[in-house]
Amino acid sequence: MLHALPLAESLAETTTSLSGWLTGLFSGTAPEPGASSSAAGIIVASVLKATVIVLIVQIGMLYATWGERKIIGRMQDRLGPNRVGLFGLAQPFADMIKMLTKEDITPTAAHKWVYNLGAILVVPPAIIGFAVVALDRNLIAADLSIGALFFFAIGSTAVMPIFMAGWGSRNKYALLGAMRAVAQVVSYEIPQVLSIVGVLLLAGTLSMNGLIHSQGPIGDAFPGVWFILLQPIGFVIFLLATTAEIERTPFDIPEAESEIIAGYHTEYAGIKFGLFYLALYFVTISASAVGAILFLGGWQPPFAFLAGIPGWIWMTAKTLALVFVFMWLRGTLPRLRVDQLMAFAWKVLVPISLVNLMVTGLLAKLVAGRAPLMVFGAFTVANVAMVALLIWLVAGWRRFNAARQITFERPAVQAVGAALRRGAA
Amino acid sequence: MGENWAFVAILTVIALTIPILGILAAMVLAPKRPGTIKNSTYECGLETVGDAWVQFKVQYYLYALIFVLFDVETVFLYPWAVAYQSLPLLALFEMIIFLLILGIGLVYAWRKGALEWI
Amino acid sequence: MMEMLAFGLVAGVAVGGAIGVVAARNVFVSALWLVLSFIGVAGIYAILGADFLAATQVLIYVGAISVLILFAVMLTHHVMGDERSNNRQAFLAFIVSSSVVAALGVLAYRTDWPIRPADAGGSVVTAMRGDLAGSSAASTAAQTGASTALTSTVDLALNQDSNVVRLGQALMTEHLLSFEIISLVLLVALIGAIVIARD
C-alpha cells in the first residue's frame, strides 16, 4: 500500500522536490498500482516519515513557545521576547540551550527509576498522536481505520507518566499535583470523547481521511459542510475538554503555583523539566490539529472556489488558529478552583454532550438523504434550541442558588454567632 | 494496514529516543556538582516533614470508577456511531436506553455526593 | 517473518510486564509493570488485525483501569514503601497459576481456530504473513478497482471501517440484550462502589 522507495532513490528524490517527496513518502492511502513493499522498504520509509514528523513537530513546538509568549505578552500590554534575534525569533533556541546546560538535579529521596522514567515517558504519547494527523490529501503517516479513536487512546495514556513523575518525586506537593492532574485528565476525557461522537455519527467513519472527506467544501453533498456548523456544541465541549485534558489555563490546577508549588514537576530541573514543557506544546499542537480535522474540515478549503490553494496550507492555518484559541483562553480566563473544575466536567459537560448526542442521532435519521441546505437548517434550529434551553437552565439554577443562599445563610450565621458568644462567656 | 501499525511502532521508538537523547546531551553539557542540601527534596522550599507517600482519600477512587464506567460506555458508543447510518431508527432508542441506564448511575452518584470534591 | 518478530516483541513486553508485576517489591511499581503488560496485549491485538480492540485496550486498560488500580494503591496505608509481600502461600500460588497456564495452553492447542480469509481492507495478519511478496500481492488485489486517488482513498477508508461498522451492527442486532445488560452491570458496579466507599 505504501509508496515505499529504496533509500537511495528516495534521497535522490529529496533533492529534486521536497513536497513531491513528502507526498510520495506519505502516500499510504493513495497506492500506486504495482508499488513494491518489502519489509526493508517499509522500515526505511517509516523511519524517514517518523523523522520528518518529529522534525516538523519540534520546530512547531519551538515556535509555539515563542508565539505564546508574544501573544500573551501583547494581551498583557507587554512586548514579549524581543532581544534574541529579530523579534526574539531565536529565543526558543536560547531556551533550549539553557535547558540543556542547566544542572540536572535528582533528589536523593526520589525513586530513581520511576522519577527518571516519568520524565522520559511524558514525551512519546504527545508525539505518537501525530501518526494519524493528515496534513494534506495524501500527507498522512498512518491512516488507521480507527484514526480518531487511536488519537484519544494514545492521549489517555498520558496520565501514566504524570503519575510516575508525581509519585517518583517523593514530594507531597508533587504527589498531590499528580493525583489532581490524573483526576482532572480522566474526568475531562469523558466529555472529550463524547463530544466527537456526533461527528462520527454524521461521518460514519473513524478514519481521519474519511472524516475529512465527509466535510467537503460548501457545494458538495451531505454532510458537505464543516462539522463545526452542524456540531457547534460538540466543538465547544471538545475545545473546553481538550484545554483541561492538556492542562492549559484555565484548567492548569495541577501546576497551580499558589496552591501546590509546580505540581507533579516540582522536583524536576534542567532538561527533565524541559521535557514536560516539550510534551505540553506537542499535545497543544496535536490536539489543535485533530480539532481542525474533526470540526474544521482538515485540509479541505471552506468554499469550492478556493480549491486552488494547497491543502496543507489550509490544514496549517486551521491548526494554528486553534493553537491561538488555546493561547487566547490562557490570556483571558483566570484559573478555576479544583472543586469547580471537577463539577464542571461531570455536572455540566457530560450531561450536555449526552443530550447533544441524542439530538444529533435523532436529526441524522430525520434528515437523512435531504438537501444539504435543509440538513444545515434543521441542525441550526436544533442547536439554537439547545443553547436557549441551556441558558434558561443556567439562569434558573442561578436564581435557585441565590434563593437558597438567603434561606440557608442566616441560620449558619446565627449558629456561628451563638458559638462565639458562648466562647466569650 | 500492517504498514500503518509498523509505522506506529517505529514512531514510538523514535519518540522514545527524543527525550533520551535530550537527557544524554544534558549529561554531557550540564555541570554536575551534587550536594547534600542541593539534592534534598525541594517540596516548597522548607524542610520536609513526614513521608510524602501518604494515604489519599476515597474521593479519587470514586472519580476513577465513574470514569471507567463512562469510558466503557464511550467504547460502545463509537461502533454504534460509525454504523449508525446503516442501522434502523430503532438503534437510536436502543442507545438511548443504554445511555439512560448509565445516566441513572450518574444521577445516583450526583445525589449521593460522589461527584462533590471535599 | 516480520509477523513473528513483531509478535515476539509484543509478547515479550506482555510477559515481561507480568513478571515485573510479581517481582517488584513495591505495590506502586507493580502496578506500573502491569501497565506495560497491558500495552503488550494491545500490541498483540494490533498484530492480529483487531484495530478497534487494540485501541480499546489502550483506552480502557492503560488509560482507565490502571488509573483505578493506582488510585486504589494510593488509598492503602503503609504498603507504599518497599516491602516484601506475604509469601507464605507462594508455593500454593505457583501450583494454581501453573495449572491454569497448562489448562489454557492445552485449550489453545486443541481448539480448532477458524481462520477466515482476510477482508478487502487487508488485515495485518495477511499483510504481514509469510514473505512480504504475498502481502504486496494481497494489497494490489485489494486496490484493483481503484482508479483515481480520491475515490480509492474513500473506498479504502470504507473498507477499513467495515470492522467497526460490523461491530456496531452486531451490537445493535444479534447482541442487543447483552449490550443492554452491560449497562446494567456497569450501573450495579457504580452503585456498589459508592455504597462501599460511603460506609
Q: From chain B, pick out residues whose CB is under 8 angstroms from the CB of C164.
A: 78-79, 82-83
Give the rounded percent of residues in chain A with a pLDDT score beyond 90: 13
pLDDT above 50 for C155: no
- C59 vs A159, B10, C64, CA distance in Å? 11, 20, 7
Are the beta carbons of A194 and B75 closer than 8 angstroms?
no
Parallel, antiparallel, or unpaired: how do β-strands A139-140 and A134-136 relate?
antiparallel
Contact C194 B108 (CB under 8 A): yes
**pLDDT tops 90 at residue B103:** no
Are A186 and A162 spatial neighbours (Cβ–Cβ below 8 Å)? no
SS (H, E, C) C4-45: HHHHHHHHHHHHHHHHHHHHCCCHHHHHHHHHHHHHHHHHHH
When comparing pLDDT for A141 and A239, which is higher?
A: A239
With CB atoms and an 8 Å threshold, state whether A163 touches C70.
Answer: yes
Identify any residues that bridge with A139 across adjacent strands, giving them in sequence order: A136
The minimal CB distance from C59 to the residues B63, B75, B105 is found for B75
Instruction: Give mean pLDDT, residues A345-372.
Output: 85
The chains in contact with chain C, meaning 3 or more Cβ pairs closer than 8 Å, are: A, B
pLDDT-derived band of residue C149, with 50, 70 and 90 as boundaries?
very low
Letter string b/e over residues C98-127, b meaning 16 or more CB atoms within 10 A of that residue's CB: eeeeeeeeeeeeeeeeeeeebbebbbbbbb
Interface of B with A in 66-85 (CB under 8 A): 66-67, 70-71, 74, 77-78, 81-85
Q: Do C194 and B112 touch (CB under 8 A)?
A: yes
Residue C137, min C-alpha distance to chain B (Å) = 14
Distance from CA of A182 to the nearest CA of B (A): 9
Predicted confidence at residue C145, as pLDDT, reads: 36
pLDDT of C197 over the 80 cut: no
Contact B77 A266 (CB under 8 A): no
Higher pLDDT, B57 or A345: A345
Average pLDDT (A24-48) is 62
Of C171, A74, C58, A269, the residue nearest B95 (C-alpha): C171
Give the helix/strand (H/E) hosting A140.
strand A139-140
Contact A41, A4 (CB under 8 A): yes
Q: Which of C29, C122, C165 lies nearest to residue A114, judging by beta carbons? A: C29
pLDDT bin (cut points 50, 70, 90) of residue C39 is very high
Separation of alpha carbons C185 and C164, rounded Å: 23
Cβ–Cβ of B55/C47 closer than 8 Å? no
Which region among A4-8, A44-48, A223-227, C193-197 has the lowest average model confidence (pLDDT)?
A4-8
Here the cell at position A45 is 520509509
Over residues A279-292, the pLDDT tens digits come to 889 999 999 999 99
Share of chain C above pLDDT 70, in %: 70
Nearest to B71 among C64, C123, C176 (CB): C64
DSSP-assigned states of every residue in A9-56: HHHHHHHH-HHHHHHHHTBTSSPPTT----HHHHHHHHHHHHHHHHHH
Query: Per-residue pLDDT averaged across A115-132, rounded?
Result: 90
Give the model's confidence band at A345: pLDDT under 50 very low, under 70 low, under 90 confident, else very high: confident
At residue A23, the pLDDT reads 60
Count of positions (residues) in chain C: 199
CB-based contact B79 C164, cutoff 8 Å: yes
Amino acid at A188: Y
Which of C5, C190, C196, C199 best tests the B interface by mutation, with the highest count of B CBs <10 A?
Answer: C190
Which of C75, C135, C190 lies closest to B69 in CB terms? C190
At C126 the pLDDT is 38
Do A124 and B22 make contact, defined as CB atoms within 8 angstroms? no
Indicate yes or no: CB of C77 within 8 angstroms of CB of B75.
no
Of the segments A149-153, A305-309, A365-369, which one has the largest average pLDDT value?
A149-153
**pLDDT of A188 higher than 60:** yes
Could you report the per-residue pLDDT of B40-98, keeping only the tens digit for each? Answer: 777 666 667 666 677 777 778 888 888 888 888 888 889 888 888 888 888 888 888 88
Question: pTM, whole model, 2 decimals?
Answer: 0.82
DSSP letter at A303 equals B
Checking if the pLDDT of C148 tops 60, the result is no
- Say if the Cβ atoms of B26 and A100 lie within 8 Å: yes
B44 and A CB contact within 8 Å: yes
Residue B38 located in a structural domain = yes
CA nearest to B93 within chain C = C172
Determine how many CB atoms are found less than 10 A away from the CB of residue A89.
15
Cβ contact, residue pair C183, B102, below 8 Å: yes
CB atoms within 10 A of CB A392: 10
The average pLDDT across A317-339 equals 87
**Between A and B, how many residue pairs show a Cβ–Cβ distance under 8 A?**
236
- Nearest CA-CA distance, residue B74 and chain C, Å: 10
Residues of C within 8 A of B8 (CB-CB) are 46
Q: Which residue of chain C comes nearest to B80, CA vs CA?
A: C168
pLDDT computed for residue A52 by the predictor: 85
Which of B56, B65, B70, B95 to probe by mutation at the C interface, max C CB count within 10 Å? B65
Q: pLDDT > 70: what percent of chain A?
A: 82
Instruction: Say what percent of chain B tops pLDDT 90.
Output: 2
Reduced 3-state DSSP string for B1-48: CHHHHHHHHHHHHHHHHHHHHHHHHHHHHCCCCCCCCCCCCCCCCCCC
Mean pLDDT across A174-186: 86
CA distance C111 to chain B (A): 26
Strand partners, A140: A27, A134
Closest-CA distance of chain A to residue C89, Å: 29
Probe site for chain A from B14, B51, B75, B106 (most A CB atoms < 10 A): B14
Look at residue B118 and tell me if it is in a domain: no
* A263 vs A200, higher pLDDT: A200
| Residue A90: strand pairing partners | none
Residue A69, pLDDT above cutoff 70? yes
Q: Which chains touch B (3 or more CB pairs under 8 A)?
A: A, C
Closest-CA residue to A167 (of C42, C30, C12): C30
- Taking CB atoms and an 8 Å cutoff, what residues of chain B touch A54? 14-15, 18
Q: Does C158 contact A149 at a Cβ distance shorter than 8 Å?
A: no
User: Which among B68, B83, B114 has the least Cβ separation from residue C169?
Assistant: B83
Mean pLDDT over the full length of chain C: 74
Q: Scanning every residue of chain C, which has its alpha carbon at the shortest distance from the alpha carbon of A180?
A: C71
Let me know if residue B29 belongs to a domain: yes
Backbone angles phi, psi at C42, to 5 degrees: -60, -40
pLDDT of residue A325 exceeding 50: yes
Is residue B50 a part of any domain in this protein?
A: yes
Task: Give residue B104's domain range.
Answer: 2-112
Q: Tell me, what's the pLDDT at C38?
A: 93
Q: Which of C2, C4, C32 should one mutate to test binding to chain A, selecting the residue with the greatest count of A CBs within 10 A?
A: C32
Structural domain count of chain B: 1
Is the pLDDT at C28 greater than 60? The verdict is yes
- Which pLDDT does position B70 carry in this prediction? 87
Tell me the one-letter amino acid at A17: S
Q: Is A218 helix (H, G, I), strand (E, B) or coil?
A: strand
Contact A1 B3 (CB under 8 A): yes
Residue A380 or residue A420, greater confidence? A380
Within-domain flag for B58: yes
pLDDT at A313: 85
Sequential DSSP letters for A171-184: -HHHHHHHHHHHHH
pLDDT at C143: 40
Quote the pLDDT of residue C83.
Answer: 58
H helices of chain C, in order, are 2-23, 27-47, 51-56, 66-75, 90-110, 124-128, 132-142, 149-172, 176-198
For residue B3, the distance in angstroms to the closest alpha carbon of chain A comes to 7
Residue B117 maps to a domain: no
Alpha carbons C29 and A164: distance in angstroms, whole number = 9
How far does CA C148 lie from the centroid of its chain? Answer: 37
Segment 19-48 of chain B within 8 Å of chain C by CB: none
Q: How far is B75 from chain A (nearest CA, A)?
A: 9
pLDDT at A13 over 50: no
User: What's the pLDDT tens digit per position in C57-77?
Assistant: 999 999 889 998 888 888 876
Distance separating alpha carbons of residues A250 and A341, to the nearest angstrom: 9
Cβ atoms of A25 and A45 within 8 Å: the answer is: yes
Q: Note the pLDDT of residue A257.
A: 65
CATH T-level fold of C2-113+162-198: Four Helix Bundle (Hemerythrin (Met), subunit A) (1.20.120)
User: Which residue of A lies nearest to C75 if distances are taken between CA atoms?
Assistant: A179
User: What average pLDDT does the structure give for chain A?
Assistant: 80
Q: Contacts of residue C152 in chain A, CB cutoff 8 Å?
A: 29-31
CB contact under 8 A, A190 and B33: no
Does the structure show a pLDDT above 60 at A215?
Answer: yes
Amino acid at site C100: V
Minimal Cβ distance to B94: which of C71, C123, C172: C172
- Look up residue A381 and give its three cell numbers: 434550529
Chain C residues close to B73, C-beta within 8 Å: 183, 186
Q: Point out the residue among B9, B53, B98 whose CB comes nearest to the CB of C179.
A: B98
Asked whether residue B10 is assigned to any structural domain, the reply reads: yes
pLDDT at res. C94? 87
Domain map of chain C by residue range? 2-113+162-198
At residue C49 the predicted structure's pLDDT band, cuts being 50, 70 and 90, is: confident
